[in-house]
Structure formats: C-alpha cells, structure tokens
Amino acid sequence: MHDPTLNKDGLITPEALEAFKARIGLKLRVNNAFNDRVDLRSVQRFCDGIGEGNPLFTDPAYAAASVWGTLIAPPSYLMSVFPGWILQGLPGVHAFHSSFDFQFFQPLKEGMTITPESCFTGFHPVETKFKGKALIEHQTASYLDAQGQLIAQAKVNGLRVERQAIRDADHYHDLELPHPWTPEQLDDLGQRILAQHPRGSEPLYFQDLQLGDHLPTLIKGPLGATDIIAYCVGARPVHLLAHELALRHAASHPSWEVRDRDSRAVEPIFGVHYNLSAAQAVGMPYPYDIGSQRFCWQVQALTDWMGDAGQLLRCKVRFKEFVFLSDAVFLDGVVSKLFVDERGRHIARVSTTASNQRGTLVMDGFADVMLPSKEA
C-alpha cells in the first residue's frame, strides 16, 4: 500500500536521541502562531471551525448583556493563538497528540492581546501498541497578556513513533472505514445534534450539583473533510503552503511531505487529517481528526453545560484512540468532586470521556469549573 519513495521516514536511533536530548530546555520558536488578539471576527471564525454556536462567544449584543459585560472567547480559542505544540527534532519520526493539561487563569475578553511561548522540557521512552521505538515528548505552552501576565499555561505531551513501526503494527486493519452508517442512524444522529444547545444565561449554581450528576452529551460527527477544513480556517493549527511555496518547503523538509498517489500533488504530512495518501504513508488506514480540534470539542461540552456564569479553570484530556473521518464522537462528563478552594472559589470537578459510535473510548480526562454560589 505504502510507496516508501513517497516520503522519508526518520528513525529513533541513539544518535538521534542524543541530538534530541541536547534540545531539552530550549525555548522554541513559535512558528505556528495565528490569532494574536481576541476580536469578534477571529472569534467568530474560530467558533465556526469547531461548530460552536454559543452566542456568548459570537453575538456582541448577547455578550454585552451577560455577566461578563463584553464579548469573551471560549477558552479553547487559545488553540487558534497557538496549538500548544511545536513539531521539532527527530525529523521524519511521526508525532501524535498524547495529552493536554490546560490551566486557565484569565477569561479571554475582547481586546486582549495574547502572546504564546513554548518550551521543550524533555522526553521519556514509552511502550505503545505500535511496534518499534516510541517516546513521549513534553512541551510547555504559555499564553501571556500585554502585561506579561499568564492567561493560561499547558503541559503538552506528544507521542513520537517511527512511521515504519506504525505500518508494521497495522493496528486498525479490522476497522471498517469509512464507517457503514445506515440512513436511519444518520437521521437519528442528526436529530440529536440539532437538539444540542448551550445552557445560556440561566446560572448553574454550585449548590445545585450532586456527585454523579451527568453532563449533557455533546455529539460531533460523522466527521467530514469540511470539518477539518473549517478548523484549519478558524484555528490554523499549522502553516499550510500552496503551489511553489509548498514545493520549496518539500525540497527543504522531505520528511514532512508526501506525494499524493492520485492527484500527484505534494501534500504536507499534516494531510493525514484529510488526505488518504498522507494518512496511509504514516501507517494509518484513513484520515483522522486533529488533537487540538478534539480538545476544543471537549471545552465546548463543558462550556455548554456550565452556562454563561461558569468559568473553566482547568481542562485535561488524554487522547486514547484515533477519530477517523466518518466517525462520530460522543462527549460525556460526570461530576466527580465538589469543593471550595483556598481562594473561596466554588469548583466542580468533572470526569470527562469521549467515545465513538463503536463504543471505543477515544479521549478521557477531567476539568475544574468555577460556578456561582448561592452563598454570599
């Protein structure tokens, strides 16, 4: 299936590891920053890209009348500022998102400027379902306001795997892709999705919650190419190039490009998210979603539930399995802890899960949400 002449694989050799180790501690050049300001048009474009219709984030009049008194962006908007991760070192060794642990220190109010920073903090070897060598790479992403104060900070883990190991494992050979949805299933899914809505201005009070309370399920899917394109338009997770610029980039970065078997066009390896040749070149059976995009869906499930007066303080996700084009994702949550922190904030901890239509867990994690209290 794979033509090895299409791209250049990298290996995790002792020499490559030594070179990689020498980079630990480096402050990385953020070459994939996009939005640098909370403004209506950018926020609307981002929300379009993740299917986020909450008027708190997209309707200035609604937002002005809210508890915030101004337009705010969803916390996931930071993914459009900088997706938290920089592909660096180990050329030709594939990278997958492994986990995000975001802490949010300030709401994203209209007019704020945001400057991202990134640091490579280390790596550890790991055993995976893929054959061959793999490691977990650690980076820290920081987002600063105009005064240099932290808006948010994330600990980000990426999985680096030799592409040949992924191909050899052939882990997904028994999956039927695209998923064989029946018309009835698609109709049911569509109706459930259209019935989804954010809680809105009615406050969700801390005292109204009990341990074990379930969040409404947020459904995304079946995932299509346009969902990926819309995310790229709204969040621009990588710097995509076209025509002669793409060819020049391919010449200087042969490990990160692939030639499409059908169109014969040069595609970036990022095309694993929408291009079958690119996906198969790295050993995957079908294009799959973008990790930062899935994180945004998780944040939406939380903001839809907590209402306008809630504030997301932390969101941690771990990517457990791939979400392929044609898959649907069902994001659920359960209140697992209720506490008042040392600053007197009333916080609900939510254990989160996301599963696909096959019942496979594709993401889990937890989140801390600050809620209004009925006590003065």
Give the whole-angstrom CA distance, residue 202 versus residue 322. Answer: 36
Find the helix or strand (DSSP H, E) in which 168 lies. Answer: helix 163-169
Q: What is the DSSP letter of 190?
A: H
Closest approach of other proteins to the CB of residue 18, in Å = 13
- Closest listed residue to residue 323, CA positions, set 365, 372, 279: 279
Interface with other proteins, residue 336, by CB under 8 A: yes
Contacts of residue 174, Cβ cutoff 8 Å, sequence gap at least 6? none
**DSSP symbols for 241-284:** --HHHHHHHHHH-GGGEEE-TTT--EEEGGGGGT-HHHHHHTT-
Q: Would you say 124 or 243 has its CB closer to other proteins?
A: 124
**6, 11, 126, 265: which one contacts other proteins (CB under 8 A)?**
126
* Comparison of 65 and 361: residue with beta carbon closer to other proteins: 361
Q: Give 167 or 349: the residue with its C-beta nearer to other proteins.
A: 349
> Is the Cβ of residue 16 or residue 177 nearer to other proteins in the bound state?
16
The answer to whether residue 139 forms part of the interface with other proteins (CB under 8 A) is no
Q: Which residues between 301 and 320 bind other proteins (CB under 8 A)?
A: 316, 318
Choices 48-56, 122-130, 183-191, 276-284; region in contact with other proteins by CB under 8 A: 122-130
Structure tokens at 134: 């793999």
Contact between 142 and 132 (Cβ < 8 Å): no
Among 49, 86, 89, 101, binds other proteins (CB under 8 A): 101
Cα 201 to Cα 309: distance, rounded to the nearest angstrom: 7
Phi and psi (nearest 5°) for 158? Answer: -120, 145
Contact segment (CB under 8 A) with other proteins among 119-127, 197-205, 212-220, 234-242 equals: 119-127
Rg (Cα) of the chain, in Å, rounded? 21
157 counts as binding other proteins under rule CB under 8 A: yes
d(CA 8, CA 11): 10
**According to CB under 8 A, which one of 94, 138, 179, 346 is a site residue for other proteins?**
138
* Stretch of 97-105, 163-171, 282-290, 291-299 contacting other proteins, by CB under 8 A: 97-105
Task: Kindly state whether residue 293 participates in binding other proteins, applying the rule CB under 8 A.
Answer: no
Residue 118 within binding range of other proteins, rule CB under 8 A:
no
The contact pattern for other proteins, residues 189-218, with x = CB under 8 A and - = no contact, is ------------------------------
Burial 2-25, CB ≥16 within 10 A → b, else e: beeebbebbebeeebbeebeeeee
Q: Which of 255, 351, 353, 373 binds other proteins (CB under 8 A)?
A: 351
Give backbone dihedrals phi and psi of 73, rounded to 5 degrees, phi first. -100, 150
Residue 3, classed as helix, strand or coil, is coil
Can you tell me which of 16, 40, 136, 240 binds other proteins, judged by CB under 8 A? 136
Compare residues 209 and 241 and give the one whose CB is closer to other proteins: 209
- In the complex, the residues that contact other proteins under the rule CB under 8 A are 98-99, 101, 121-124, 126-128, 136, 138, 157, 316, 318, 336, 349, 351, 366
